[in-house]
Amino acid sequence: IIYDAFVVRYGGPNRCYERFLIARDWDMEKAEKMIRHAISFRLERNLDGNRKEEELDRLAEYKEQVGPLWILRSWGFSTEGYLLIYARVSKVNLKSFLSIPEDNIKAFYLEWLTNVFDLQNYSNASIRDPKDQVWKGNVQVINLQGISMAQLHISGLRLLSRVLKIAQGLAPENANKVYLVNAPWFFSGAWSIIKRALNKNIIAKITVSSGDCKEEIMKYFGDSEELYQDFLNSVQ
């Protein structure tokens, strides 16, 4: 049974069902299956209900454990309302994730994802007539400049892939576009591991480039060099 908090979390009645349908190529049966999975998952983990004090204490503990290692950060909104997310990959330490229980990392990720949902809902709520506008997901720019082969720890990559895979069943049309820029030649091996955990619709939204994709990314800043450079300073 769909409950009010679930519909609100996914953008309200004008967006909730549309997002699931788009994510499953307008196949109603597959979209219904995805909705049922998302409802069951969220109810089981009390993602939309009131938290007891002990739950909040556990989440605070997970944030303390995982937060310092988490590289994805929200920057703000593009000129058209897309949530912009950046990552400083040169600071990543995948091996350190292995010292933390996987369930704790997943719980942290779910809270982070909920915050992303809330920010996107805020941006999309400003659209006066949602029927005439596309859903504005997030745009992620992940700068791989300066990353070393030693940082791409295989077990850590596999763990992170399992964590990120959660979003495929819970976050329809969450990401609009993902740019993996300044990729070194040896990143292809890591990408092959990550890609196995992603479905074809998500892979189609990801650009992996040895360049900076400046021309494409600039459009999210209304071609403003000043805003682009401000954002770029966050990614470097």
* DSSP state letters, the chain: ---HHHHHHTT-TTTHHHHHHHHTTT-HHHHHHHHHHHHHHHHHTTSSSPPPHHHHHHHHHHHHHHGGG--EEEEEE-TTSPEEEEEEGGG--HHHHTTS-HHHHHHHHHHHHHHHHHHHHHHHHT-S-GGGS----EEEEEE-TT--GGGS-HHHHHHHHHHHTHHHHH-TT-EEEEEEES--TTHHHHHHHHHTTS-HHHHTTEEE-SS--HHHHHGGGTT-HHHHHHHHHHH-
Which amino acid appears at position 210 of this protein? S
| CA–CA distances in Å: residue 53 to residues 17, 50, 58, 80 | 33, 10, 9, 39
| Per-residue pLDDT at 64 | 96
> What is the structure's pLDDT at 236?
58
Share of the chain above pLDDT 90, in %: 58
Q: Which of 33-42, 54-63, 113-122, 152-161 has the lowest mean pLDDT?
A: 152-161
The token pair that represents 207 in the structure block: 């650009």
Is the per-residue pLDDT at 129 higher than 70?
no
pLDDT surpassing 70 at residue 131: no
What are residue 77's DSSP bridge partners? 83
**Phi, psi of 51, deg, nearest 5:** -95, 140
Q: Please, what is the average pLDDT of the chain? A: 89
Residue 124 pLDDT level (bands cut at 50, 70, 90):
confident
- Per-residue pLDDT of 76-90, as tens digits, reads 999 888 999 998 787
- The sheet carrying 83-88 orders its strands as 72-77, 83-88, 138-143, 175-181, 206-208
CA dihedral of residues 149, 155, 160, 162 (deg, nearest 10): 140
Main-chain dihedrals φ then ψ at residue 88, nearest 5 degrees: -95, 90
Query: pLDDT-based confidence at 99, cuts 50/70/90?
Result: very high
pLDDT at 180: 94
Predicted confidence (pLDDT) at residue 27 exceeds the cutoff of 60 = yes
Q: What is the pLDDT of residue 204?
A: 92
